[in-house]
Every structure is written in C-alpha cells, then in structure tokens.
Amino acid sequence: KQEVTQIPAALSVPEGENLVLNCSFTDSAIYNLQWFRQDPGKGLTSLLLIQSSQREQTSGRLNASLDKSSGRSTLYIAASQPGDSATYLCAVSLVSNTGKLIFGQGTTLQVKP
Amino acid sequence: NAGVTQTPKFQVLKTGQSMTLQCAQDMNHEYMSWYRQDPGMGLRLIHYSVGAGITDQGEVPNGYNVSRSTTEDFPLRLLSAAPSQTSVYFCASSLRTVGSAEAFFGQGTRLTVV
C-alpha cells in the first residue's frame, strides 16, 4: 500500500530564508507527483507537477525534484516571503493513472517578517 | 475560467438527514474524485470516476454514494448523515492525457453533522 510522508509537520523561518520541504513515498511505481498549497479554510492550489520520467520542475521561486528510486521529492522555496505561509501538501498518482491521489499529511510553513 | 465548482460552501445537517454535495467542472476532464480532509488524517479518497458512467470506491466509501451521468458533474450523496461525516469535502478533476494529469481542486464544502 502506497504511503506518503511529509517531514517536518511544521516549519517556522524568518523572511528571506531558503527552505526545503520533504516528501517520501513507499512505492516507486508512481505516475506523477504533485505539490499543492493550501491556505487556511481554502481549497488546494496546484504548484508543481512532476511526471515519473522527470527529475525536477521549476516555477518562479519554487523548484521541485523527484527521485523515484529512493521514493523522495523535495520542494525548494527560495527567498521565502510572509505570503508563502501556508500548508504544503505532496500527493502521488498511482501508475494506473486513474486520477486517484495519495496525499501526505502536509507541512505547515510560517514565514515571519 | 470556473475550473472546479463545489456547492454549497457550508452545510449543517442533523444526524440521519441526507444531502447531496455538488461538483461541476468545465475543463472536459475525464477524471473526477471526492476527498475528505480531517485533522490528523489528511486527505482521503472517498469515490472516484474515470469517465461518465464509471465510478469506483476509494479508501473511505462507506456512507457515501456517487454517480457520473455527465462528464461535467460528479455529485456526492450522504445517505444518512452521521457525526463522523463532519469534515471538509473536496472535489477534484484531471485530464486523462499522458503528461497533462495535473489535478485541480474545488474550494471545498465544510459539513457539520450534529
């Protein structure tokens, strides 16, 4: 059974710091991995999607990497800002690609001014 | 661009009542799914659909029914609400095409069963 783990559960950093969020999964047979952002009381916003054949994706100050063989993904946030404060979720899609996602518990990030 | 639209945003039910959570997408996505989000449990899959007329159970299907009569709509029915179904419910959709399987989520329905 695929399990997704995110460490740490919570993170507090000063503004301007570069930071890394971690996501690990137990079964390397994934179709893709997606990082989401969730603000309190809101829905999920897709940040980056990495296909199983890719190693990384970049969008602005965000960079996500994927190492399927080791079952790990990282989300790198450069020059963090208070507006980055949110919960970040990673989710894997199974190789059968039925649209089913298995989520980690999330990392709640606070960026202090 | 509407994306994925969920209604209602908030709902309070009494134990035993039934209701339908609505989900609609305007992106012609084949895949649609329902998740519930609970503190300490994360997001868990309730039901999903790979196309009109096709549905299947997810991780926590008990107490919920779904149907997919059109590509656009995927309603979730609570048959007899229980306090354990108090949660935030999210609907999601994605394309079936290889390389374009990004999932899009609605804003959620916050349900309280008393």
DSSP string, A35-61: EEEE-TTS-EEEEEEEETT-SEEEETT
Q: Average pLDDT in the B35-50 region?
A: 92
Give the number of other Cβ atoms within 10 Å of residue A11's Cβ: 16
Q: Average pLDDT in the B11-30 region?
A: 96
Q: Average pLDDT in the B32-52 region?
A: 93
Q: Is the pLDDT of residue B22 over 90?
A: yes
Q: Is B85 helix (H, G, I), strand (E, B) or coil?
A: helix
A51 touching chain B per CB within 8 A: yes
Identify the band that residue B46 occupies on the pLDDT scale cut at 50, 70 and 90: very high
Give the number of other Cβ atoms within 10 Å of residue B69's Cβ: 10
Residues of chain B contacting A98 with CB distance shorter than 8 Å: 31, 48, 50, 56
Q: Tell me, what's the pLDDT at B63?
A: 96
For residue A106, CA distances in Å to A36, A96, B7, B89 come to 9, 24, 25, 17
Q: Is the pLDDT of residue B1 over 80?
A: no
Alpha-carbon gap: A44 to the closest alpha carbon of chain B (Å) = 6
B43 touching chain A per CB within 8 A: yes
Give the number of other Cβ atoms within 10 Å of residue A24's Cβ: 17
Residue type, B92: A
Give Cβ neighbours of residue A14 (< 8 Å, ≥ 6 apart): A111, A112
Q: Average pLDDT in the B64-68 region?
A: 97
Q: Tell me, what's the pLDDT at A68?
A: 93
Phi, psi of A104 (to 5 degrees): -80, 175
* Cβ pair A43:B107 closer than 8 A: yes
pLDDT tens digit sequence for A38-74: 999 899 999 999 988 899 999 999 999 999 999 999 9
Residues of chain B contacting A102 with CB distance shorter than 8 Å: 45
Strand ranges (E), chain B: 4-7, 10-13, 19-25, 31-38, 42-51, 54-57, 64-66, 76-78, 87-94, 104-105, 109-113
Q: Which of B10, B50, B105 to mutate to test the interface with A (most CBs of A within 10 A)?
A: B105
Supply B10's token pair. Answer: 């908030």
Q: Is the pLDDT of residue B97 over 90?
A: no
Q: Which of A36, A98, A107 to mutate to test the interface with B (most CBs of B within 10 A)?
A: A98
Taking the alpha carbons at both ends of chain A, their separation in whole angstroms is: 41
Residues of chain A contacting B94 with CB distance shorter than 8 Å: 99
Residue A103 to residue B94: CA distance in whole angstroms: 16
Residue B38 to residue B47: CA distance in whole angstroms: 16
Identify the band that residue B110 occupies on the pLDDT scale cut at 50, 70 and 90: very high
* Cβ pair A97:B96 closer than 8 A: yes
Q: How many CA atoms lie within 13 A of A72 on its CB side?
A: 6
Identify the band that residue A94 occupies on the pLDDT scale cut at 50, 70 and 90: confident
Identify the band that residue B61 occupies on the pLDDT scale cut at 50, 70 and 90: very high
Q: Is A82 helix (H, G, I), strand (E, B) or coil?
A: helix
Residue B64 to residue B111: CA distance in whole angstroms: 14
Residue A19 to residue B89: CA distance in whole angstroms: 30
Identify the band that residue B100 occupies on the pLDDT scale cut at 50, 70 and 90: low
Residue type, A112: K
